[in-house]
């Protein structure tokens, strides 16, 4: 209970912090706020992301000239009662600011429209159409009660936040107090003035503020979108068709250097928040050099995690929840060497490997079974790897395990073979599926009379009983990156140098699957690598982790000594 109230006059909100025993006397306040040395220089230097993020903001600016673009970092999120999760900014915010681990709750990046071609320059000096400002909650002075009394934001509780000057130095972006956000967003909105767009799903409070500003200015984006769509349909042209033409250009082989995406100016698109969300997703389809470097680092740390797990397999076998031994070993390395894991680690032994997202990880690890480990280290810049290996617990695959493993590997290799500039994203999946269907036919698992070719037909697809997921997804700040990109940019998109995605076929035979012979039941295999499209093909970023069954066995033997 707090000191100066009785339970009867406590509000429910106050009771949520009953643990607080902070004194309220003036004597305490005077003393705790005095006698502090001047704040030292936090030693902030410009992030190496500065020129890259300037280019990323210029790319976004090029797609939405004239609109005010609001990209929130997001708030702290409650874990339970008055405790929060560790802070992770929204990926669009991280991409455009370069801020990573723990930075910066409640901050909002705003790209203010300026006269076209007079805005902040990209790294090559070409002016964009916007001026960027970061609205942040700066460090409170020590004569402010927040300093010692605010368990969520106070320096005594969570450490010193950067000052506005620190944020400017670190990011190369003008920084302002978050209290200025409301007026800055509202300026010139409405009528034929500025269109205000916000990345939705990042910060409810900022969204509510944007909606209130629009309402006050008499702007109804939904109504306008409807009218514009009707106009476009009447004139026989839609934004989607125009953009598809751009992709068509690439298919003709003329534009495969990445400009296909930069050139996708949405002149005719209906301006609403979805267009901004889509744009922030699509500008991430091609990774710049720094992003590729960060992904390489994430993969390297992930491979270390896999090695640590192999060393700990005997302990996993001995423990009643051996899968937890695997999970915690992998996750400990991720936390030590990076920010965290990029998604909940899947540590699935035996039949659990047939559950695609098995993250309960509370099962036994038995000799003779295989363990499917799907894990990714997220480095401090928040880029994550996503790698899967299916390992024999004894260190040696049985014949049937090897047969299934080899089929999945062949499917992965077929997918790799088509992963080069000019192919479409969905060709990668199709190549893997051809192999999977062929093996299932060979093993007599497809239903009576169904051939692999018939199964591959859109009206068949029986083979997908044993692999219901896709073969690939883009990878970056989000494990399933660029998820809001349009279909013509993603599934139907053309592979272009700088794209990074997974290749992860699998076969999953559940313990109670009566459609397969008994010896196959309870076996799940997935092999997942992270792939960079290069000018002349691809690079397997996770090639440092063995894939061939014999190489996996030799690698495990070398680690176990």
Cα–Cα distance, 520 to 405 (Å, whole number): 11
State the Cα angle at 481 between 280 and 528, rounded to 5°.
Answer: 165
Smallest gap from residue 46 Cβ to ligand GLY (A): 34
- Inter-CA distances, 407 with 392, 403, 414, 521, 524, Å: 16, 6, 11, 16, 12
**H/E stretch holding 540:** strand 537-540
Which of ligand GLY, Mn ion, none lies near 462, with the C-beta cut-off 5 to 8 A by kind? none
Among 521, 154, 205, smallest CA distance to 369 is for 521
Smallest gap from residue 393 Cβ to Mn ion (A): 23
Rank residues 388 and 462 by Cβ distance to Mn ion and give the closer one.
Answer: 388
Rank residues 297 and 386 by Cβ distance to ligand GLY and give the closer one.
Answer: 386
Residues that bind Mn ion (CB under 5 A): 386, 502
Which of ligand GLY, Mn ion, none lies near 120, with the C-beta cut-off 5 to 8 A by kind? none
Cα–Cα distance, 357 to 365 (Å, whole number): 17
Is 243 near ligand GLY (CB under 6 A)?
no
Smallest gap from residue 528 Cβ to ligand GLY (A): 6
DSSP-derived secondary structure letter, 19: T
**H/E stretch holding 537:** strand 537-540
Smallest gap from residue 16 Cβ to ligand GLY (A): 35
Smallest gap from residue 480 Cβ to ligand GLY (A): 6
One residue of 374, 478, 513, 553 binding ligand GLY per CB under 6 A: 374
The secondary structure of 337-404 as a DSSP string is HSSEESS--EEEEGGGGGSTT-----S---TTSEEEEEE-EE-TT--B--EEEEEETTSS--HHHHHH
Rank residues 50 and 300 by Cβ distance to Mn ion and give the closer one.
Answer: 300
Which of ligand GLY, Mn ion, none lies near 278, with the C-beta cut-off 5 to 8 A by kind? none
Rank residues 168 and 374 by Cβ distance to ligand GLY and give the closer one.
Answer: 374
Range 438-457, binding ligand GLY (CB under 6 A): none
Smallest gap from residue 376 Cβ to ligand GLY (A): 7
Smallest gap from residue 479 Cβ to ligand GLY (A): 6
Range 314-343, binding ligand GLY (CB under 6 A): 343
Cα–Cα distance, 466 to 518 (Å, whole number): 15
Q: Are 476 and 291 in contact (CB under 8 A)?
A: yes
Among 284, 378, 397, smallest CA distance to 335 is for 378
Rank residues 53 and 345 by Cβ distance to Mn ion and give the closer one.
Answer: 345
- Inter-CA distances, 530 with 128, 251, 300, 470, Å: 33, 24, 11, 14
Rank residues 39 and 357 by Cβ distance to ligand GLY and give the closer one.
Answer: 357
Question: What are the contacts of 467-470 at 24+ separation with CB within 8 A?
Answer: 467/433, 467/436, 467/505, 467/506, 467/507, 467/508, 468/356, 469/356, 469/504, 469/506, 470/429
Which of ligand GLY, Mn ion, none lies near 294, with the C-beta cut-off 5 to 8 A by kind? none
Rank residues 307 and 530 by Cβ distance to ligand GLY and give the closer one.
Answer: 530
Smallest gap from residue 387 Cβ to Mn ion (A): 8
Which of ligand GLY, Mn ion, none lies near 443, with the C-beta cut-off 5 to 8 A by kind? none
One residue of 106, 168, 273, 386 binding ligand GLY per CB under 6 A: 386
Smallest gap from residue 92 Cβ to ligand GLY (A): 20
What's the gap between Cα 456 and its chain centre? 31
Among 290, 481, 475, 383, smallest CA distance to 100 is for 383
- Inter-CA distances, 159 with 89, 219, 310, Å: 18, 41, 37
Rank residues 147 and 405 by Cβ distance to Mn ion and give the closer one.
Answer: 405
Cα–Cα distance, 57 to 111 (Å, whole number): 8
Q: Write the Ramachandran bin of 190: left for phi over 0, alpha for psi from -120 to 50, otherwise beta.
A: left
Smallest gap from residue 302 Cβ to ligand GLY (A): 11
Cis peptide before 156 (omega within 30 of 0): no
Which of ligand GLY, Mn ion, none lies near 351, with the C-beta cut-off 5 to 8 A by kind? none
Rank residues 49 and 340 by Cβ distance to ligand GLY and give the closer one.
Answer: 340
Q: Are 524 and 278 in contact (CB under 8 A)?
A: no
Among 64, 329, 331, 306, smallest CA distance to 199 is for 64
Cα–Cα distance, 245 to 48 (Å, whole number): 36
Q: Contact letters (x/-) for ligand GLY, 174-203, by CB under 6 A?
A: ------------------------------
Rank residues 339 and 384 by Cβ distance to ligand GLY and give the closer one.
Answer: 384
Which of Mn ion, ligand GLY, none lies near 155, with the C-beta cut-off 5 to 8 A by kind? none
Smallest gap from residue 200 Cβ to Mn ion (A): 25
Closest residue to Mn ion, judged by C-beta, is: 386
Smallest gap from residue 285 Cβ to ligand GLY (A): 17
Is 481 near ligand GLY (CB under 6 A)?
no
Smallest gap from residue 469 Cβ to ligand GLY (A): 7
Rank residues 271 and 482 by Cβ distance to ligand GLY and give the closer one.
Answer: 482
Q: Are 206 and 198 in contact (CB under 8 A)?
A: yes
Q: Are 386 and 502 in contact (CB under 8 A)?
A: yes
**Count of residues near ligand GLY by CB under 6 A:** 4
What count of Cα atoms within 13 Å lies in the side-chain half-sphere of residue 158?
Answer: 21
Rank residues 91 and 502 by Cβ distance to Mn ion and give the closer one.
Answer: 502
Rank residues 391 and 446 by Cβ distance to Mn ion and give the closer one.
Answer: 391
Residues that bind ligand GLY (CB under 6 A): 343, 374, 386, 479
């Amino acid at each position: 209970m707090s000191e100066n109230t009785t339970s009867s006059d406590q509000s429910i909100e106050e009771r949520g912090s009953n643990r607080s025993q902070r004194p309220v006397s003036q004597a305490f306040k005077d003393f705790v706020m005095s006698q502090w040395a001047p704040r030292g220089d936090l030693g902030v230097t410009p992030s190496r992301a500065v020129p890259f993020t300037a280019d990323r903001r210029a790319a976004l600016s090029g797609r939405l000239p004239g609109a005010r673009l609001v990209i929130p970092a997001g708030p702290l999120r409650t874990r339970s009662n008055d405790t929060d999760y560790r802070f992770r900014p929204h990926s669009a915010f991280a991409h455009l600011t370069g801020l990573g681990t723990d930075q910066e709750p409640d901050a909002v990046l705003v790209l203010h429209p300026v006269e076209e071609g007079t805005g902040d320059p990209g790294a090559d000096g070409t002016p964009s159409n916007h001026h960027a400002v970061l609205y942040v909650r700066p460090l409170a002075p020590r004569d402010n009660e927040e300093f010692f009394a605010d368990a969520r934001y106070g320096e005594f509780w969570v450490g010193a936040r950067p000052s506005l000057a620190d944020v400017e130095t670190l990011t190369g972006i003008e920084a302002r107090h978050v209290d200025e956000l409301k007026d800055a967003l509202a300026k010139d909105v409405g009528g034929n003035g500025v269109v205000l767009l916000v990345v939705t799903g990042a910060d409810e409070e900022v969204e509510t503020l944007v909606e209130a500003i629009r309402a006050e200015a008499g702007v109804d984006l939904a109504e306008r979108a409807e009218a514009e769509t009707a106009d476009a349909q009447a004139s026989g042209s839609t934004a989607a068709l125009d953009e598809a033409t751009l992709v068509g250009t690439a298919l003709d082989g003329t534009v495969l250097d990445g400009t296909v995406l930069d050139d996708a100016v949405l002149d005719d698109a209906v301006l609403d928040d979805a267009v901004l969300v889509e744009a922030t997703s699509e500008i991430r389809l091609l990774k710049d050099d720094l992003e590729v470097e960060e992904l390489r680092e994430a993969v390297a740390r992930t491979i270390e995690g896999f090695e640590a797990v192999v060393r700990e397999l005997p302990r996993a076998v001995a423990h009643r929840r051996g899968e937890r031994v695997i999970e915690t070993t992998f996750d400990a390395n991720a936390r030590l060497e990076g920010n965290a894991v990029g998604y909940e680690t899947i540590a699935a032994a035996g039949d659990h490997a047939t559950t695609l997202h098995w993250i309960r990880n509370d099962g036994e690890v038995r000799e003779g079974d295989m363990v499917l480990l799907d894990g990714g280290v997220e480095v401090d810049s928040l880029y994550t790897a996503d790698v899967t290996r299916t390992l024999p617990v004894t260190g040696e695959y049985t014949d049937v395990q090897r047969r299934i493993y080899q089929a999945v590997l062949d499917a992965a290799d077929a997918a790799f073979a088509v992963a080069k500039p000019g192919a479409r994203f969905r060709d990668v999946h199709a190549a893997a599926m051809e192999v999977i269907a062929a093996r299932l036919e060979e093993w007599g698992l497809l239903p009576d009379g169904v051939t692999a070719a018939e199964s591959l037909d859109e009206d068949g697809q029986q083979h997908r009983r044993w692999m219901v997921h896709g073969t690939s997804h883009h990878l970056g700040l989000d494990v399933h990156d660029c998820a809001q990109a349009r279909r013509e940019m993603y599934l139907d998109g053309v592979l272009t140098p700088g794209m990074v995605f997974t290749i992860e076929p699998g076969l999953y035979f559940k313990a109670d699957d009566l459609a397969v012979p008994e010896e196959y039941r309870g076996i799940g295999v997935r092999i997942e690598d992270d792939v960079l499209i290069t000018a002349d093909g691809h690079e397997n970023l996770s090639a440092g982790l063995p894939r061939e069954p014999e190489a996996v066995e030799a690698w495990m033997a070398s680690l176990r000594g």
